[in-house]
Structure 1
Amino acid sequence: MSSAALEATSELTGVEATSAHRLGGSVYEVELADGDLVVAKRHSQVSAVLAEAKSLEWIAEPGVVPVPAVRAHSEHWLVIEQIEPGQPVDAEAFGRGLAQLHLAGAPAFGAAPPDGPADAWIGLAPMFNQPVPSWPEFYATQRIEPYVRRTTLPWAPFEAVCSRLVDLVPEEPPARLHGDLWSGNVHWATDGRAWLIDPASHGGHRETDLAMLQLFGCPMLDRVLGAYREVYPLAPGWRSRVPLHQLFPLLVHTVLFGGGYASQALSAARAALR
């Protein structure tokens, strides 16, 4: 596969690719003849390449959080800027930038990035984005029900959550979300800044991004959230709503991996109704 990465990168960048180092899965660090380093990613699904490329461009557009530049893409390959890894330092800058990214907004709940496909992906799971008038409708029909239906989980607890979403979450305008904001997609660079990678962007509720950060951990999370709230204060009771917003990533992980994620999803549904 490294030969395919070399060939695709050379063709897409117009610069000869001289070596490729596999980072994991179908992701490669590729060195170009001019000394530059890029990351080449292969997706088997055509829509996945376009969805990620347009997501990267959309969250980069406000210029508030560092995002690797998209160098080029084809049906199955995405080539982006390579960012050298470092240690987490500037948690406050990340928190402020994430708040400003959310404030940049989206046209509607469920809106895909401009020119991005409605049929997108979150990791290896399909994810559909279709604009709808309200967040409760979006979350119920596009982020809870489709994933529960792909598991053996009982529908009743999740149906109860969906029926009460209007009362459970304060109304807010659509935020511009990263969409898959677990700690592995927060890439700390050599300058100590947090870069956002591997987005599954869409218009949604900002607490969903923050809940995902809390679900899988993030270095200096208290400092990140503190700086975030200074820029864009959260509505009262936001901590109690974390399980509700964690339902989506937990259901995705149940679909992909099963195991203990199913019981975690059920626990989150019950906690959301307390």
Structure 2
Amino acid sequence: MSPVDSEHLHTLLGTAVESLTPVGGGSICEARRAWLSDGRSVFVKSRAGAPAGFFQAEALGLRRLAAARGGVPVPQVLAHDEQCLVLEWVTTGVPSAAAAERFGRALAATHRHGADVFGSADGPGWIGSLDLPQGPWKTWPELWAYGRLEPYLRAARKAGAVDKRTVAEVEKVIAELPRLAGPDEPPALIHGDLWAGNVLWTETGAFLVDPAAHGGHRETDLAMLTLFGLPHLDRVLAAYDDAWPLAPGWRERLPLHQLHPVLVHAMLFGGSYGAQAGQLARQALRHP
């Protein structure tokens, strides 16, 4: 049962709620559409027993992404508290090649907006239901090693989601990250959990939702899109590279950036993700 009802939303928004309807969404939070007495409809995301700051962190991430001039738009944050997040309603449509090209250019602008640090100094963060260490860190290899790979490898090993060979291979990646990371780049403002389900296609283009926004490496977002697929992905990547050329060898570094989300999936879903983490580690080690 959701902790958020019409009366709760009325208090939060200052507008009466006429109805609440479940909609498709993630497996972690409950997603509903609320119809308001002023004729608007809004998206309501709630989670029973959410950790303190859970929805505040998401609201902050959305606002940071919204501040990027020319970047990918995000839904407007209308309200949030410890139980829920309320966003403007975004009507989805069918992706097109032209929209994908606009998305690629806009994503480059989001990344170019930059961040003050690798990680974040804004308090706790999450990816899905899992804690996301925020740092901050001085370099991207430090962020990736000690804020992403090491803690999730440790948790996956404890849960039995990875075998000894995978543990050894990921540990080798961690040890060699300064060599594997590629050319130094300043912190980019990244979405941080950019799989296809967090890209909403509309008649005017793409919107981003459900961020784990922080200062990171721009190749991380592109690797996530490549890992789980996206309509017209080739158009997105080509437009991105045209707007802000990627460093040589970026395609060979994709497995390095995909390693963390696969460890997250090993923790959340088990199955073959543990073995996939080992495969990605071996691929990453082949390409300095």
Interval containing the TM-score (normalised by the shorter chain): over 0.9
- Relative to 1, partners in 2 of residues 1:106 and 1:3: Cα closer, same or farther, differing over 3 Å? closer
What is the CA–CA distance in structure 2 between the aligned matches of 1:61 and 1:20, rounded to whole Å? 30
Amino acid at match of 1:103: R
Matching residue of 1:55: 61
What is the CA–CA distance in structure 1 between the aligned matches of 2:221 and 2:86, rounded to whole Å? 25
Matching residue of 1:128: 133
Matching residue of 1:150: 155
Deviation at 1:46, TM superposition (A): 2.2
Amino acid at match of 1:54: L
Contact preservation (8 Å) 1:27, 1:39: yes
Matching residue of 2:106: 97
Amino acid at match of 2:227: L
Amino acid at match of 2:54: A
Q: 1:1-274 alignment to 2 at 5 Å?
A: 1=1, 4-23=4-23, 24=25, 25-43=29-47, 44-63=50-69, 64-89=71-96, 90-112=99-121, 116-117=122-123, 119-152=124-157, 153=162, 154=164, 155-169=167-181, 170-189=183-202, 191-274=203-286
- Runs of 5+ unmatched residues, structure 1: none
Deviation at 1:215, TM superposition (A): 0.6
Give the RMSD, CA atoms, in angstroms: 1.3
- Runs of 5+ unmatched residues, structure 2: none
Write out the 4+ residue segments of structure 1 that deviate beyond 6 Å after TM superposition: none
Contact preservation (8 Å) 1:45, 1:76: no
Deviation at 1:2, TM superposition (A): 6.3
Deviation at 1:129, TM superposition (A): 0.5
Contact preservation (8 Å) 1:5, 1:28: no
What is the CA–CA distance in structure 1 between the aligned matches of 2:131 and 2:266, rounded to whole Å? 13
Name the stretch that deviates more: 199-208 or 159-168: 159-168
What is the CA–CA distance in structure 2 between the aligned matches of 1:4 and 1:159, rounded to whole Å? 43
Amino acid at match of 1:138: L
Name the stretch that deviates more: 53-62 or 17-26: 17-26
Secondary structure of the corresponding residue to residue 192 of structure 2: coil
What is the CA–CA distance in structure 1 between the aligned matches of 2:170 and 2:3, rounded to whole Å? 46
CA deviation map 1:220-257 (0-9, x unaligned) = 00000010001111111111111110001001001111
Deviation at 1:3, TM superposition (A): 8.2
Secondary structure of the corresponding residue to residue 150 of structure 1: helix
Secondary structure of the corresponding residue to residue 84 of structure 1: coil
Give % identity: 49
Deviation at 1:4, TM superposition (A): 2.8
Contact preservation (8 Å) 1:28, 1:40: yes
